[in-house]
Chain A
């Protein structure tokens, strides 16, 4: 396990470079991201196990997410609390090479298109997902879910409908802060996003009506993170304030709203997931499927742990003809001393290396297969 301290700045996002096997970008914010500056760290992992700081960029507002360019080895995107997205060249200093400003509120995630490599998407608390080209400071496309998010999902087996865990606020009356939006690694035109009204939305940016599917993923509780499985094209995972991670096969989700139609009343509970990971003690902030294996998922949570999960519903596991209930959580990483907010898998070397960062100002590089 290797570590680096981002003194004075609380970690929000961490990403391994897709070009250099030893570079990591970390998005951080002063004062826990509640108010104040942000800082982008570019770190190098050295052969002797030390981590050194290559470069830093200070920003006006806190940074909440980071993404490496898939087309240029020195470019990194950050998203900020003031609604701006910036593209930095890590060989330069101080200022970004490009600014993208269209979001009205905090941008909580940026994600580079892995297939087409010339576009990226962003998710914001202003309720929109935007698609951008790095060449153009205006967004290519804005995905807005013109839906009634006051719809209340009811928990199964309960007579009383739980209210949405996030209340509509003055700044967001429709209660649809989008927390995360990611491109499919299989199709350059598909995006999934999740929001504070517990909705998981699937978009096809080729379509004049991009919203393809929309369902309540976590029974009314805020859904904070979502990710596409890198091996199974129709499988995604979502993570929520309800402390669970759900694995979904999009092919099995039927009878829910399509293309802007209101949610069907018989589906106010939301469809049934393929699998559910229970173990975190508090809301789960970020999840990532492994780049090396279709059944491994990494998660990090407000309970100060990262966990590694083994998804038994993976196609390969089906033929193993044995049940492994209760063995889904294969590793718990408990070194963080505060909320763990960002995590990522390394694409390089021996499969299983991961990076995590959190409010304890620490970046840890650790092996998902080892117990610490």
Chain B
């Protein structure tokens, strides 16, 4: 076999100067994704996960993950990084606890990350880079968010008056919906375009659900919910166990016309509304990353290869433009032409910012979110980045390259490239 690989080198390395070929090349030191799963995304405040916190979500998802890995020695995981936005301290305590409860030994360290809506991707970036530098051989990245439990007035930012005297700093307080209106106004994105984009997100997601396309990436979770068909307070509420395996946010039969009737949510004369903005959701996603050599040793099939991530800063008042700057930067960094990318999974915080980003990055719309985005599926803040990795790993065909990207509150954008194997 040594002879085969030596001669094989003559052919495969002929295009080694080609960035795409280089990205697709399989080397023992690659950081590869072995598993990527998510929970179903449920509606915040009223969905099936509303009574459980992000730590329970994470623990249950990890249990599900390890069930797909029979005989896997959890102690080989050398680091766990979980993204979260709303929990106090980004879930540093409760997610460490959840990881231990899922049977990962205490000898495995834990880190909580919070770069707002990109936290899940930052976790992937952190673990993958640690694998690439040789700091660890195997790590678990992910994100978990219960917006039902932790979203609300208590999650509003508090910035000291002294800091707020600075004009730029003050803009970090602008609500996300207003930043969306700012993008829509500044780049004159008509509401009709936004509604058409949002409607297509719903339609694509509906089609994907009908086709069973999310089945592979969603691990069904068993949760107890209160059967509240009566309002008797004196009785102990009856609890029933149900299996959650379907996204709740997807509404059938949405059209641009039906969205056109919804009133603007943030500004009277605005164009952002409940139907063309991301939903408030609960959910979690995890990605198991390791050195290719280790995956081969353990005989674990490889889902995909991590290539690179970049994060850029943009003005806070138009934070939604982030992907429009982050995607070209990551393509430039790797030398990969945008034509070589088959799928762009761009988080739909708002239809307007997603449309602007797609336009600025020069991406054909048909390559964006082929199975719908956060407008239809939901946006559990800290989990979204890892959720998109789980989704894109199913959207891409073997040998194809994909980009996942999102805008980030307070003015940033992140983008990462993966290869499906």
Closest beta carbon of chain B to A107's beta carbon, Å: 12
B1-13 interface mask toward A, CB cutoff 8 Å, 1 = contact, 0 = none? 0111111011101
Does B240 reach chain A (CB closer than 8 Å)? no
- A171 / chain B contacts, CB cutoff of 8 Å: 2
Does A13 reach chain B (CB closer than 8 Å)? no
Complex A-B: 28 CB contacts under 8 Å: A33-B3, A34-B3, A34-B4, A35-B3, A106-B3, A162-B16, A163-B16, A165-B13, A166-B6, A166-B9, A167-B9, A169-B2, A169-B6, A196-B6, A221-B13, A222-B9, A224-B10, A241-B9, A241-B10, A241-B13, A241-B16, A242-B17, A282-B10, A282-B11, A283-B10, A285-B10, A302-B10, A302-B14
Closest beta carbon of chain A to B93's beta carbon, Å: 42
CB distance B9 to A165 under 8 Å? Answer: yes
Closest beta carbon of chain B to A293's beta carbon, Å: 29
CB distance B17 to A162 under 8 Å? Answer: yes
CB distance B6 to A302 under 8 Å? Answer: no
Number of chain B residues whose Cβ lies closer than 8 Å to a Cβ of chain A: 14
CB distance B3 to A282 under 8 Å? Answer: no
Closest to A220 in B: B16
Closest beta carbon of chain B to A58's beta carbon, Å: 19
- B7 / chain A contacts, CB cutoff of 8 Å: 33-34
Distance in angstroms between the alpha carbons of A243 and B3 in the assembled complex: 21
Distance in angstroms between the alpha carbons of A242 and B7 in the assembled complex: 14
Does A342 reach chain B (CB closer than 8 Å)? no
Does B155 reach chain A (CB closer than 8 Å)? no
CB distance B14 to A283 under 8 Å? Answer: yes
CB distance B14 to A243 under 8 Å? Answer: yes
CB distance A125 to B6 under 8 Å? Answer: yes
Closest beta carbon of chain A to B335's beta carbon, Å: 8
Distance in angstroms between the alpha carbons of A222 and B4 in the assembled complex: 15
A222-234 interface mask toward B, CB cutoff 8 Å, 1 = contact, 0 = none? 1010000000000
CB distance A177 to B10 under 8 Å? Answer: no
Distance in angstroms between the alpha carbons of A224 and B13 in the assembled complex: 13
CB distance A81 to B3 under 8 Å? Answer: yes
Does A205 reach chain B (CB closer than 8 Å)? no
Q: Which residues of A129-165 are within 8 A (CB) of B?
A: 155, 162-163, 165
CB distance A222 to B13 under 8 Å? Answer: yes
A78-115 interface mask toward B, CB cutoff 8 Å, 1 = contact, 0 = none? 00010000000000000000000000001000000000
Distance in angstroms between the alpha carbons of A237 and B13 in the assembled complex: 21
Apart from A163-B16, A165-B16, A302-B10, what 16 extra A-B contacts exist at CB < 8 Å? A33-B7, A34-B3, A162-B17, A165-B9, A165-B13, A166-B13, A167-B27, A171-B2, A177-B6, A196-B9, A221-B16, A222-B9, A224-B10, A241-B14, A282-B11, A302-B14
A-B residue pairs, 4 tightest by C-beta: A165-B13, A283-B10, A165-B16, A283-B14
- A221 / chain B contacts, CB cutoff of 8 Å: 13, 16
Closest to B10 in A: A283
- B6 / chain A contacts, CB cutoff of 8 Å: 125, 166, 169, 177, 196
Within 8 Å by CB of B14, from A155, A169, A282, lies A282
Distance in angstroms between the alpha carbons of A162 and B14 in the assembled complex: 12
- B3 / chain A contacts, CB cutoff of 8 Å: 33-35, 81, 106
- A81 / chain B contacts, CB cutoff of 8 Å: 3
- A282 / chain B contacts, CB cutoff of 8 Å: 10-11, 14
Within 8 Å by CB of B11, from A162, A163, A169, A302, lies A302
- B2 / chain A contacts, CB cutoff of 8 Å: 169, 171
- A163 / chain B contacts, CB cutoff of 8 Å: 16
Closest beta carbon of chain B to A363's beta carbon, Å: 20
Closest beta carbon of chain A to B172's beta carbon, Å: 35
Q: Which residues of B83-106 are within 8 A (CB) of A?
A: none
CB distance A283 to B5 under 8 Å? Answer: no
Closest beta carbon of chain B to A358's beta carbon, Å: 13
Indicate whether A169 sits within 8 Å of B5 (C-beta atoms), given known contacts A162-B16, A162-B17.
yes
- B9 / chain A contacts, CB cutoff of 8 Å: 165-167, 196, 222, 241
Closest beta carbon of chain A to B408's beta carbon, Å: 28
Closest beta carbon of chain A to B281's beta carbon, Å: 41
Closest beta carbon of chain B to A159's beta carbon, Å: 11
- A242 / chain B contacts, CB cutoff of 8 Å: 14, 17
Closest beta carbon of chain A to B331's beta carbon, Å: 15
In the complex, which of the residues B6, B11, B14 has the most CB atoms of chain A within 10 Å of its own CB atom?
B14
In the complex, which of the residues A33, A177, A283 has the most CB atoms of chain B within 10 Å of its own CB atom?
A283
- B16 / chain A contacts, CB cutoff of 8 Å: 162-163, 165, 221, 241
Indicate whether A222 sits within 8 Å of B27 (C-beta atoms), given known contacts A34-B3, A34-B4.
no
Closest to B9 in A: A166
Q: Which residues of B272-303 are within 8 A (CB) of A?
A: none
Closest beta carbon of chain A to B2's beta carbon, Å: 5
Distance in angstroms between the alpha carbons of A285 and B4 in the assembled complex: 15
Distance in angstroms between the alpha carbons of A11 and B16 in the assembled complex: 27
Distance in angstroms between the alpha carbons of A40 and B4 in the assembled complex: 22
- B11 / chain A contacts, CB cutoff of 8 Å: 282-283, 302
Closest beta carbon of chain A to B343's beta carbon, Å: 26
Closest to B335 in A: A160
Distance in angstroms between the alpha carbons of A283 and B3 in the assembled complex: 17
A259-302 interface mask toward B, CB cutoff 8 Å, 1 = contact, 0 = none? 00000000000000000000000110100000000000000001
Indicate whether A155 sits within 8 Å of B17 (C-beta atoms), given known contacts A125-B6, A171-B2.
yes
- A35 / chain B contacts, CB cutoff of 8 Å: 3
Closest beta carbon of chain B to A321's beta carbon, Å: 36
Indicate whether A222 sits within 8 Å of B10 (C-beta atoms), given known contacts A34-B4, A81-B3.
yes
Q: Which residues of B10-51 are within 8 A (CB) of A?
A: 10-11, 13-14, 16-17, 27
Closest to B12 in A: A165
Closest beta carbon of chain B to A155's beta carbon, Å: 7
Closest to A283 in B: B10
- A177 / chain B contacts, CB cutoff of 8 Å: 6
Distance in angstroms between the alpha carbons of A30 and B343 in the assembled complex: 43
Closest beta carbon of chain A to B22's beta carbon, Å: 9
Distance in angstroms between the alpha carbons of A163 and B4 in the assembled complex: 20
